Amino acid sequence: MPTRLALPLVLALLAGLSPSCASGRTTLEAAPGTTPMESPMPQDVALDVLMAELYGVISGPAGTPRDWDRFLGLFHPEQGRLAAVMHPAEGPPKVFAMTPEKYRQNAEALFAKQGFYEQEIARRVERFGAIAHVFSTYESRHEPEAEPFARGINSLQLVWDGDRWLIMAILWDQEIPESPIPDRYLP
């Protein structure tokens, strides 16, 4: 089991297709651990692209620069936020909040020294109008084929601007022995 504070700045998300839409349409093949999606509506395709971009841009070998302009462009330009729930050895959980730029600064130093690969293994999406909530279960690794050193859930709040989804907030919590990921959030 990973340490309680293993990579507190680990964020995550996807590879696959999201659940949604009306019945009676062609079902698309889903990535492992995700639910098949009906009807490739622009919002659904855009959500999958956003999730793939998010996980893709933070993953890579040690010392390989990430495309931080691409990362920052995924967030609402004025309101985007990230927050990690930390579990100290004693006491209640603590929240470490930051802007996307602060995340970049913190992660950049870490990624310079250590490989980091995050992959979505399951996703649940709730959507109404121009807003969406995504629960994305992730695994984190130091090498692509290594055993995960951490698992958790990224909770994303998104807004549809008419052309694409923008991230308003990402809040994540890492699995610990006292709080395993429930089966309903696993593949």
Whole-number Cα distances in Å, 35 to 45, 50, 110, 121: 14, 17, 33, 11
Q: Which two tokens stand for residue 125?
A: 């999406």
Q: Does a structural domain hold residue 21?
A: no
Read off the pLDDT of each residue in 147-164 and give the average, rounded to a whole number. Answer: 96
Read off the pLDDT of each residue in 90-104 and give the average, rounded to a whole number. Answer: 96
Q: Does a structural domain hold residue 11?
A: no
Q: Does a structural domain hold residue 1?
A: no
Residue 42 confidence (pLDDT): 74
Read off the pLDDT of each residue in 48-59 and give the average, rounded to a whole number. Answer: 96
Where b means 16+ CB within 10 Å and e means fewer, 85-107 reads bebeeeeeeeeeebebeebbebb
Q: What's the maximum distance between 2 C-alpha atoms anywhere in the chain?
A: 52
Q: How many domains does the chain have?
A: 1
**Position 124 pLDDT exceeds 80:** yes
Confidence band, pLDDT 50/70/90 cuts, at residue 19: very low
Q: Does a structural domain hold residue 17?
A: no
Q: Does a structural domain hold residue 2?
A: no
Q: Which domain holds residue 70?
A: 28-185
Residue 41 confidence (pLDDT): 66
Q: Which two tokens stand for residue 147?
A: 């055993």
Distance CA 133, CA 182 (A): 18
Check which CATH number belongs to the domain holding 130 and give it: 3.10.450.50
Distance CA 150, CA 124 (A): 20
